[in-house]
A and B are shown apart, each in its own frame.
Chain A
Amino acid sequence: MKTLAKKDLIKAMNIWAQKHDVLSPTKTAPGDCIFDTFREKTFTLDYKKPPLSPKAVFFPHSEVTFKVEKNKYKEIVAAKKMLIFGLRACDMMGILQASSFMSRDRKDVYYNAKRNAATTIVMACPGPQNETCFCTTTRSGPVAQKGFDLQFYDVGDAFLIEIGTPRGEELLSAIPLADVDDSQARRQIEEFKQKAIRSIPEVKSFIKAMNKLKDGKADEKIWDSFGQKCITCGGCAFVCPTCTCFNVYDHQSSPGNGLRARTWDACLYGGFTREASGHNPRASQALRLKRRHEHKLLHFNEIDIQGSLCGCVGCGRCSDYCPVHIGTLEVVKAIAE
């Protein structure tokens, strides 16, 4: 198996950056970590769980899908050759689930163009990145099982490199590497993985909540209490790696000129399900929250979940950022109780 010495990482990144737009964990001036264009000066390996999953790489917050100029239609399918370095396993599973949804029965050309042009390097998690991590429960981490082009294991002075695809293998051709004995490497990876799994305890209420939902035994009243608190910001959907709903709108800049674009949407908004008549099948915030969480925990598609447990990948971001504490962890706890 190949290894990359930590001291050579920057060199490798610079080599990759010649042929790719490299996105990597970046320290911002006030101290946050985000995925941003690789720059030696702001690159960091101490990045925990970035506040946003990299879903916007494939599914931008807003995106023009076609333009009309002087009455001429022009489709816009934008994609650049990207390399995302340092993905967490949960986010890799998020990409797998979203990609499946975006190509299962109808290929979303805008999404897939970007997905196909992107190479992924996962950084296996050595343990929980903060108190809301629960990928061991959703079977989406701490180590990625599939989907990646390369997966790195931090073993001190070096990274052990697991190759996922020929595209990943090709990335290795140009960078300085060393060899380690295969069986020793496998053993090290297994140890790494077991230690990581042990350090992220299973969230029992999550499983219990899924079962109660399946058996129709969940208390309906919890939705009312959450619905009363929800401020309808939609933030949970925006930080969620598997939420891919969008709204489409047209903008005419002058007669014969304009564009069609799509923007992120969220099922928490009333207008998401409101019909032209004014009738809304999800008439209250309680019902909308119920729908959102049941979609993740109960009504998910077996193909889309890509071998994980359900439509939630256990990244915990909704629990990290919901200003009124209606994240998945709080919801499953309420259902389980």
Chain B
Amino acid sequence: MVGLAATFGSGAMTNSINDFDGADLFLVIGSNTTSQHPLIGSRIINAVKRGAKLLLIDPREIQLAEFADLHLRHDIGTDVAVLNGIMNVIIEEGLDDKEFVETRTEGFDQLKALVSKYPPRVVEKISGINSRDLKNAARMYAKADKAMLVYAMGITQHTTGVDNVKTCANLAMLTGHLGRPSTGVNPLRGQNNVQGACDMGALPNVYSGYQPVTDLTVKKKFEDAWGVAALNDKVGLTIIDMMIAAQKGELKALYVMGENPLMSDPDTSHIEHALSNLDFLVVQDIFLSETAAKADVVLPAASFAEKEGTYTNTERRVQISGKAISSPGLARPDWQIICELSTLAGYPMNYKSPVDIMKEINAVTPSYAGITYERLERGYGLQWPCINEDHPGTPYLHKDKFSKGKGTFIPCEFKPVVEMPDEEYDFMLTTGRIYYHFHTGTMTRRTSILEREAPAALVEINPEDAKKLGIKNNETVELTSRRGTIKLKAEITKRVPQNVVFSTFHFHESPVNMLTSPAYDPIAKIPEYKGCAVKVRRCA
């Protein structure tokens, strides 16, 4: 998000889900789309069946690989090098969109100078992608009429997450695959409302609609709207920073809502220590998660089916969700809990319903100004920016100019994964999710059929590696990193390349984040879940 905001001025999927039906080519990088966004994945499959091209860049042989015209299996964490290499070929062969670059962008010379250092033979050494494939990929993407670049956590969950995103944006700008239907840079959001949470300012540095807390005009606006005297104009802490501060004893209390950091944050031992070091921990959730079990106070929240409100999905579409059933026990919608807490703390919040809250969102958030409850009730939602009640919403961004005016090329050098395999920890562990479970499993592992489909954590190991280590399919193995050890069953599969193992963070019995690296991106503060060094052993 930070990366796209820097290059385009707006951090969200540029285009829409319907656009997938009209594209001529998809460049999918770091997204296991059929597994994590199956409906978008099926649109890609259907498009390929009608003749669209698929260029896949992913170390693992995911389901989309079967449909790919070209699959580049680069080494983990070498995305910047591969994309720079592709741009090198594009410029070298004159395939860049000169008019777009000239009229819509700035900083081309710097980009050109930087990517000139990434000719195919250099990229081959860094990433393992051979020159011929790299050149083909460059030609395919540059020559397509309407190409959509699609990415997900495989791009962002790196210490170079922001660089990866900026480099994706550079490539799309270089080839003019932006500002038209069925093009663009399309980060697929990993949760149903993560876009909405960011839009509403659930970030340490902005109010709703990405209005900076440091901007004094913005500060004044919110002070007036909320009738308070002095809002804090300092940027707050990210989750990573909070955990570090807690461990140091600088952060005393933490209020966690619908998040399970004890399972989802990297380096579990560190998180455990940080949480135990708090004076006071409050967790608001629909189930007693691992984190909630450690809390001083647990506030029971209503599930999605027990409350009403809106969600903002990956294509920036705000949609209404209605209440279907009543909440069990004392559970209440999050907004009611927050209102009551605030009132008790001395600032009365008197919203009567989500409709009232939406009115305030409309009033203080320019990009949401026209997304009123009344309009949402009449249709299938509205896509921001939607600046007034007559505005139809925005299916694709950056039509004639970028949100920030000209798009800026921000060239980035390749930097490897922080903790590379070595003699002792000789495998690269990469992590993600599987089709049947969501995140830390607090919901999906309580669902009988999903639990039956995937009852336990597996670690994917390449057959060659398994042979060397004497590991049989379905045998329990031990994974060890510098931070911990877990036991889980091996799935021998060519889906992973040699020297790489893959596992998931859904299972508390084998919590993979015991192993993951606490290294994070310096700007976005996103952890490097996609790569750390481990060793693999048979369990005696």
Give A residues with C-beta under 8 Å from B: 29-30, 228-229, 231-233, 247, 249, 263, 265, 269-271, 278, 323-325
Given A228-B66, A249-B448, A269-B453, does the pair A30, B42 have CB atoms closer than 8 Å?
A: no
How far, in angstroms, from A75 to B449 measured CA to CA in the complex?
23
Tell me the B418-453 residues at the A interface (CB within 8 Å): 435, 448-449, 452-453
Chain A residues closer than 8 Å to B452, beta-carbon distance: 247, 269, 271
Contact A323 B38 (CB under 8 A): yes
Contact A30 B379 (CB under 8 A): yes
Chain A residues closer than 8 Å to B379, beta-carbon distance: 30
Subset of 20 A-B contacts with CB under 8 Å: A29-B377, A29-B378, A228-B63, A228-B66, A228-B67, A229-B42, A229-B45, A231-B34, A231-B38, A231-B41, A232-B435, A233-B38, A247-B448, A249-B448, A269-B452, A270-B453, A323-B42, A323-B43, A324-B46, A325-B46
Contact A271 B453 (CB under 8 A): yes
Contact B449 A231 (CB under 8 A): no
How far, in angstroms, from A232 to B378 measured CA to CA in the complex?
32
Q: How close is B540's CB to chain A, nearest CB, in angstroms?
A: 21
Chain A residues closer than 8 Å to B66, beta-carbon distance: 228
How far, in angstroms, from A263 to B39 measured CA to CA in the complex?
23
Q: How close is B421's CB to chain A, nearest CB, in angstroms?
A: 30
How far, in angstroms, from A267 to B42 measured CA to CA in the complex?
20
Smallest Cβ-Cβ distance to A264: which chain B residue: B449
Having A30-B379, A323-B42, A323-B43, one finds 15 other A-B pairs with CB under 8 Å, namely A29-B378, A228-B63, A229-B45, A231-B34, A231-B41, A232-B435, A247-B448, A249-B448, A269-B449, A269-B452, A269-B453, A278-B474, A323-B38, A324-B45, A325-B46
Mark contacts of B18-49 with chain A using CB atoms, 8 A cut-off: 1 yes-contact digit, 0 otherwise.
00000000000000001000110111011001
How far, in angstroms, from A328 to B43 measured CA to CA in the complex?
19
Q: How close is B116's CB to chain A, nearest CB, in angstroms?
A: 41
Contact A271 B449 (CB under 8 A): yes
Chain A residues closer than 8 Å to B42, beta-carbon distance: 229, 231, 323-324
How far, in angstroms, from A131 to B454 measured CA to CA in the complex?
37
Q: How close is A56's CB to chain B, nearest CB, in angstroms?
A: 14
Q: How close is A251's CB to chain B, nearest CB, in angstroms?
A: 9
Chain A residues closer than 8 Å to B378, beta-carbon distance: 29
Interface secondary structure of B, over-half rule = helix
Question: Does B347 belong to the interface (CB within 8 Å)?
Answer: no
List of 5 A-B pairs having minimum Cβ-Cβ separation, nearest first = A249-B448, A271-B452, A323-B42, A324-B42, A231-B38
Chain A residues closer than 8 Å to B453, beta-carbon distance: 269-271
Chain A residues closer than 8 Å to B39, beta-carbon distance: 323
Question: Does B100 belong to the interface (CB within 8 Å)?
Answer: no
Q: How close is B272's CB to chain A, nearest CB, in angstroms?
A: 28
Residue among B42, B377, B378 having the largest count of chain A Cβ atoms under 10 Å = B42
Chain B residues closer than 8 Å to A325, beta-carbon distance: 46
Chain B residues closer than 8 Å to A231, beta-carbon distance: 34, 38, 41-42
Smallest Cβ-Cβ distance to B489: which chain A residue: A278
Residue among A30, A228, A233, A271 having the largest count of chain B Cβ atoms under 10 Å = A271
How far, in angstroms, from A278 to B475 measured CA to CA in the complex?
12
Which of B38, B46, B449, B474 sits near A263, CB closer than 8 Å?
B449
Smallest Cβ-Cβ distance to A278: which chain B residue: B474
How far, in angstroms, from A278 to B491 measured CA to CA in the complex?
12
Question: Does B380 belong to the interface (CB within 8 Å)?
Answer: yes
Interface secondary structure of A, over-half rule = loop
Q: How close is A61's CB to chain B, nearest CB, in angstroms?
A: 11
How far, in angstroms, from A29 to B42 measured CA to CA in the complex?
28
Q: How close is B440's CB to chain A, nearest CB, in angstroms?
A: 20
Residue among B34, B43, B377, B380 having the largest count of chain A Cβ atoms under 10 Å = B34
Smallest Cβ-Cβ distance to A324: which chain B residue: B42
How far, in angstroms, from A271 to B454 measured CA to CA in the complex?
8
Smallest Cβ-Cβ distance to B67: which chain A residue: A228
Contact B41 A263 (CB under 8 A): no
Residue among A229, A249, A325 having the largest count of chain B Cβ atoms under 10 Å = A229
Q: How close is A208's CB to chain B, nearest CB, in angstroms?
A: 23
Q: How close is A67's CB to chain B, nearest CB, in angstroms?
A: 15
How far, in angstroms, from A323 to B47 measured CA to CA in the complex?
12
Q: How close is A327's CB to chain B, nearest CB, in angstroms?
A: 13
Smallest Cβ-Cβ distance to A231: which chain B residue: B38
Chain A residues closer than 8 Å to B448, beta-carbon distance: 247, 249, 263
How far, in angstroms, from A30 to B66 measured CA to CA in the complex?
37
Chain B residues closer than 8 Å to A232, beta-carbon distance: 435
Mark contacts of B241-272 with chain A using CB atoms, 8 A cut-off: 1 yes-contact digit, 0 otherwise.
00000000000000000000000000000000
How far, in angstroms, from A87 to B153 measured CA to CA in the complex?
46
How far, in angstroms, from A141 to B453 measured CA to CA in the complex?
37
Smallest Cβ-Cβ distance to B66: which chain A residue: A228
How far, in angstroms, from A269 to B67 measured CA to CA in the complex?
22
Q: How close is A205's CB to chain B, nearest CB, in angstroms?
A: 19
Chain A residues closer than 8 Å to B380, beta-carbon distance: 30
Q: How close is A14's CB to chain B, nearest CB, in angstroms?
A: 26
Contact A265 B449 (CB under 8 A): yes
Q: How close is B141's CB to chain A, nearest CB, in angstroms?
A: 24
How far, in angstroms, from A200 to B303 measured CA to CA in the complex?
45
Smallest Cβ-Cβ distance to A261: which chain B residue: B448
How far, in angstroms, from A233 to B453 measured CA to CA in the complex?
12
Contact B449 A247 (CB under 8 A): yes
Q: How close is A246's CB to chain B, nearest CB, in angstroms?
A: 10
Chain B residues closer than 8 Å to A30, beta-carbon distance: 379-380
Q: How close is B71's CB to chain A, nearest CB, in angstroms?
A: 14
How far, in angstroms, from A232 to B39 measured CA to CA in the complex?
11
Chain B residues closer than 8 Å to A249, beta-carbon distance: 448
Q: How close is A52's CB to chain B, nearest CB, in angstroms?
A: 15
Q: How close is B49's CB to chain A, nearest CB, in angstroms?
A: 8
How far, in angstroms, from A265 to B66 measured CA to CA in the complex?
28
How far, in angstroms, from A8 to B63 measured CA to CA in the complex?
56
Q: How close is A320's CB to chain B, nearest CB, in angstroms?
A: 14
How far, in angstroms, from A263 to B447 measured CA to CA in the complex?
10
Residue among B39, B379, B448 having the largest count of chain A Cβ atoms under 10 Å = B448
Residue among A30, A263, A265, A278 having the largest count of chain B Cβ atoms under 10 Å = A30
Smallest Cβ-Cβ distance to A228: which chain B residue: B66
Q: How close is A62's CB to chain B, nearest CB, in angstroms?
A: 9
How far, in angstroms, from A233 to B41 measured CA to CA in the complex?
12
Mark contacts of B56-91 with chain A using CB atoms, 8 A cut-off: 1 yes-contact digit, 0 otherwise.
000000010011000000000000000000000000
Q: How close is A139's CB to chain B, nearest CB, in angstroms?
A: 32
Mark contacts of B458-496 with chain A using CB atoms, 8 A cut-off: 1 yes-contact digit, 0 otherwise.
000000000000000010000000000000000000000
How far, in angstroms, from A269 to B469 measured CA to CA in the complex?
32
Chain B residues closer than 8 Å to A271, beta-carbon distance: 449, 452-453
Chain B residues closer than 8 Å to A324, beta-carbon distance: 42, 45-46
How far, in angstroms, from A253 to B209 measured CA to CA in the complex?
42
How far, in angstroms, from A228 to B102 measured CA to CA in the complex?
43
Tell me the B274-292 residues at the A interface (CB within 8 Å): none
How far, in angstroms, from A278 to B454 measured CA to CA in the complex?
12
Chain A residues closer than 8 Å to B46, beta-carbon distance: 324-325
Q: How close is B409's CB to chain A, nearest CB, in angstroms?
A: 37
How far, in angstroms, from A271 to B379 measured CA to CA in the complex?
38
